[in-house]
Structure 1
Amino acid sequence: MNIRPATRADSADIVILDDIASSGLASHVLEVGVRDGRYDRPLEFGRDGYAFIDGPFSWKNVLIAETEDGIAGMSLSFELTGGPGDQDLSDPVLDPLEALKAKAIGTRLIDSVAVYTRFRGQGIGRALVEAELSRATGPSSIITHDTNTRALSLYQSLGFEEQRRAAYVAFSKNHAAAQWVLLTRPALQSRGAQTSVQ
């Protein structure tokens, strides 16, 4: 398994994996591009967004995990500055997430971590989070929902600690989550840890 910086050509995989990471929230948000007639499908809008729009949600902020069988997963992170570029598309479903982001300004937010189903159980998610921690120059943050117990366990095993919770606004009938959970951890150098990416 190899972790590398993404390229523009990875944008289709990035948006699919972002949708997996968000349990469909990305598709829900990207519906705006379909409603206004610019695109036929949300993921098409997202692919073009990752490929051609500069800002936090760009291929330039993504790491790709590859195996001999191709792209297996990805992670996306960026510095939370509190500026307008930190925001996703406007949607009431996102308001609680944006409130949590506001409490994590000054951290590097690991916004998305996802692994395709057939590649799970091989340590790829852990390797991606470790790679994100190694490229952070200060503290890191991550947000997930309260029913994502596997992810919460992984993040806590890597030194993340819960800081705050916010209401989870349902966007589909397929979710039992009640809260978003914000976790943070200090910079690697302040914990005396080192991570290497192969």
Structure 2
Amino acid sequence: MTVEFRSALRADAREIARLFQISSEGAANYIWSQLAQPGQDLLDVGASRFAREDVDFSWQNCLIAEAQGNVIGMMHSYVIRHDPLAPPVTDPVLAPYAKMEIPDTLYISSLALHEGWRNQGLGKQFLAYAYDRANQLGLNGLSLIDYAVNTGARRFYERHGFRIVDTCQITPHPMIRVAGEAYLMYRP
């Protein structure tokens, strides 16, 4: 079956949010729960966030993989810049991650494929796109955060030139599905 890669459309926002939920191990639901109105579905919150324009978490920063007209995967990435005026992150669950950034890199916040589409070389194609985009933007490479318990993903990223450059402890929370360490990975 032929897989096509394309830039995301605003109409993809809900599927982007669904895939972001898969890759975030509960972090997306935690963040969206902080923004939700009482009784609001968390996927609706995520979809509305990705439907925005000209912000980091936007459909505009997503690449879609599609087969037979169905979204089968996506990569969300945006440029990390040092902002000395940014307020410190005080949320105890999110604060450890806020310290794990490499300025002037293209940060891959999510690379997710639906079941049945993994281990077919699509992740490699997403990374090639990201690397080309980082080069076009004059950035110093790619960065991402991965969880230590996700050994398959870590091996995948290491095979494609990433190395671990920092670690932090994951703050336990009932919505977060992983424990232990998180890794900041970098590919020049």
TM-score range, shorter chain: 0.7 to 0.9
- Shifted more, 12-21 versus 112-121: the winner is 112-121
Q: CA deviation at 1:136?
A: 0.8
Question: How far 1:176 moved relative to its partner?
Answer: 4.7
Measure, in 2, the Cα distance between the counterparts of 1:128 and 1:58.
Answer: 17
**Structure 1, residues 59-105: CA drift from partner, whole Å, max 9, x if none?**
00000011126111000111101239x99x9632111111102xx11
Counterparts in 2 of 1:97 and 1:43: CA distance versus 1, 3 Å:
same
Structure 1 residue runs of 5 or longer lacking an equivalent are 187-198
Residue deviations 1:136-159 (CA, integer Å, cap 9, x gap): 122111111101111111111110
Which residue of 89, 108, 111 corresponds with 2:109?
111
- Among 84, 95, 118, which residue is 1:120 paired with? 118
Residue pair 1:29, 1:91 contacting (<8 A) in 2 also: no
Give TM-score, length-normalised by structure 2.
0.87
**Where does residue 147 of structure 2 map in the other structure?**
145
Counterpart mapping for 1:172-191 below 5 A: 172=174, 175-186=177-188
- Alignment of 1:23 with 2:32, yes or no, is no
Deviates more, 1:128-137 or 1:15-24: 128-137
Q: After alignment, is 64-73 or 174-183 more displaced?
A: 174-183
State the match for 2:127 in structure 1. Answer: 129
Letter in 2 for 1:115: L
Gaps of 5+ in 2: none
CA distance in 1: counterparts of 2:26 and 2:176, whole angstroms = 10
Identity between Structure 1 and Structure 2 (%): 30
Kindly tell me: are residues 171 and 121 of structure 1, through their superposed partners in 2, closer, same or farther at Cα, counting changes over 3 Å? Answer: same
> Which residue type is aligned with residue 147 of structure 1?
V
Q: Structure 1 stretch 12-21 or stretch 49-58: which is displaced more?
A: 49-58
Write out the 4+ residue segments of structure 1 that deviate beyond 4 Å after TM superposition: none
Once superposed, what is the RMSD of the aligned Cα atoms?
2.3
Aligned length in residues: 181
Show CA shifts across 1:144-184 (max 9, x none). 11011111111111101110101111223774531110111
